[in-house]
Amino acid sequence: MRPSLRAAGTVGLLAGVINAVQIDFTNDDSIKEGASTVAFGLLKYYTGNNTGDVPGNLPDPYFWWEAGAMFGTMIDYWHYTGDETYNDVTTQAMLHQVGRDQDFMPENQTSTEGNDDQGFWAMAAMSAAENNFPNPPEDQPQWLALVQAVFNEYVTRWDEQKCGGGLRWQIFTFNNGFNYKNSISNGCFFNVASRLARYTGNQTYADWAEKVWDWMTETQLIDDEFNIYDGGGVEEECKNVNRAQWTYNAGIFLQGAAVMYNYTEGNDTWKQRLDGLLTRTTDYFFVDGIVIEHQCEPFGLCDVDQQTFKGYLMRWMASTQILAPYTADTIAPLIQTSAAGAAEQCSGSTGAPEFKGEAGTACGFQWTKKSDFDGLVGVGPQMSALSAIQYTLVKRAAGPVTADTGGTSVGNVNAGASYEDKVPQLAPITMGEKVAAGFMTTAVVFSVMGGSFFIMKE
């Protein structure tokens, strides 16, 4: 993920026309129909399946990781609605982005890729395994093995030299952000480790989940009141905690804790952690039952990345409700009020040039405004609204499978590659170029290698 860039486009507010996506939340067919309309609008932003374009990439200004998050959303969309329309495009995108080492580090992205970027693709593959999303052809990489590759690489990147452990934000030393250890990167590790433990039954994964949790609490990135803060700098031994709280950090640890609770068959320590996270999440992030991104939403300052976060909180709360059924009474009503607000915001008129879905159904971002369309549209608002809406369907859905309960994805405990293996591939491109060579040189170098990135991390 990148520091703030231009936010998505703004749609003119055409008065009078209130289309919106009308949903009766007591009726599953109505929810599915609404979800289908919003999903259609979302996938219209995607151009990776056009001739000459690259499968798996979203157009500017959306970064690569967001596409991974989008296909993760679409895997759940299929699971909860049964609509197969987007399965082929999803499989094509996922497989195109696996990269040489089958670990979601494709050449075009590797030099700027962070642990969190890789994690969002891995979590999409994990959802595919857990939902029994159609397996790729046998000669292609398999969902479970892809996640194991990312897990194995995370293990090699665990860094005890600074802050007593933890993953750094960035993978490579030459990227800014290498000196920052953040909650979302460690959240990705915690999340895939706990889910791999549950899916495979292999305790090694659970031990790593525990280790990440312990490190997060020791550094107070998760404090005693279960606030989750953004991260800390390695030069300060992570003591200079950046105290911004984001919905996706709350969600990623919430789901992981629910998975651990479920995997341990109701262990009381994990229940207390889960309860603490859930209470803090619902107290802090919900206003009148509707989720809000406090750091930026009230000021209209959420960037393209941040516009997606609320959707992941919906995703992970929904999963929590399945894995720890006693939380459903708390969670289900909050997803529903959020979804109702989101659906009312999906009333953008035809004025949005970049929106190619059904006229009058472009989703805005501030769900607390309900039918007062806020005009902020793009992949993030559209995907978040889809998430809130589709996750109201979980109440009757089957739980995620495991290898023992019908899961069919093939794994490989040895998947992944070493850092040393990757750096030489990158050497002529990035490390060889002195930082002093500056922005223009970097831009030229990137365009020479055919990558689409010329925006460097700040």
Ligand X SMILES: *[C@@H]1O[C@H](CO)[C@@H](O)[C@H](O)[C@H]1NC(C)=O
- 339-368 residues near ligand X, rule: CB under 6 A: none
Q: Residue 401: left if φ>0, alpha if ψ -120 to 50, beta else—which one?
A: beta
Cα 4 to its chain centre, rounded Å, is 17
In degrees, rounded to 5, the angle at the alpha carbon of residue 364 between the alpha carbons of residues 360 and 368 is 120
| Number of chain residues interacting with ligand X (CB under 6 A) | 27
Q: 12 vs 266, which CB is nearer to ligand X?
A: 266
Any contact of residue 245 with ligand X (CB under 6 A)?
no
CB 394 within 8 A of CB 80: yes
Among residues 87, 98, 185, 100, the alpha carbon closest in space to that of 128 is found at 87
Choice from 62, 86, 180, 199 touching ligand X (CB under 6 A): 86
Q: 109 vs 387, which CB is nearer to ligand X?
A: 109
Query: What CA–CA distance (Å, rounded) separates 431 from 441?
Result: 13
Query: What CA–CA distance (Å, rounded) separates 7 from 378?
Result: 9
Choice from 27, 30, 269, 441 touching ligand X (CB under 6 A): 269
Any contact of residue 399 with ligand X (CB under 6 A)?
yes
Q: 192 vs 322, which CB is nearer to ligand X?
A: 322
The minimum distance between CB 42 and ligand X, in angstroms, equals 9
CB 301 within 8 A of CB 374: no
Q: 135 vs 204, which CB is nearer to ligand X?
A: 204
- What would the two tokens of residue 149 be? 């590759």
The minimum distance between CB 338 and ligand X, in angstroms, equals 23
Q: Phi first, then psi: give them for residue 315, nearest 5 degrees.
A: -60, -50
- Three-class SS string for 138-158? CCCCCHHHHHHHHHHHHHHHC
Cα separations in angstroms, 357 against 47, 87, 303, 329, 444:
13, 19, 22, 34, 36
Choice from 139, 160, 265, 420 touching ligand X (CB under 6 A): 265
Q: 100 vs 239, which CB is nearer to ligand X?
A: 100
Any contact of residue 63 with ligand X (CB under 6 A)?
no
Any contact of residue 50 with ligand X (CB under 6 A)?
yes
Query: What CA–CA distance (Å, rounded) separates 115 from 254?
Result: 19
Any contact of residue 325 with ligand X (CB under 6 A)?
yes
Any contact of residue 425 with ligand X (CB under 6 A)?
no
The minimum distance between CB 317 and ligand X, in angstroms, equals 15
Any contact of residue 278 with ligand X (CB under 6 A)?
no
Taking CB atoms, the residue at the shortest distance from ligand X is 399
Q: What is the per-residue binding string for ligand X in 96-125, x denoting contact by CB under 6 A? A: x---------x-x-----------------
Report the b/e string of 122-147 with b at 16+ CB within 10 A.
bbbbbbbbbbbbebbeeeebbbbbbb
Choice from 322, 331, 386, 388 touching ligand X (CB under 6 A): 322
Which residues would be at the binding site for ligand X (CB under 6 A)? 43, 49-50, 54, 86, 89, 96, 106, 108, 202, 204, 210, 262, 264-267, 269-270, 322-325, 399, 413, 450, 452
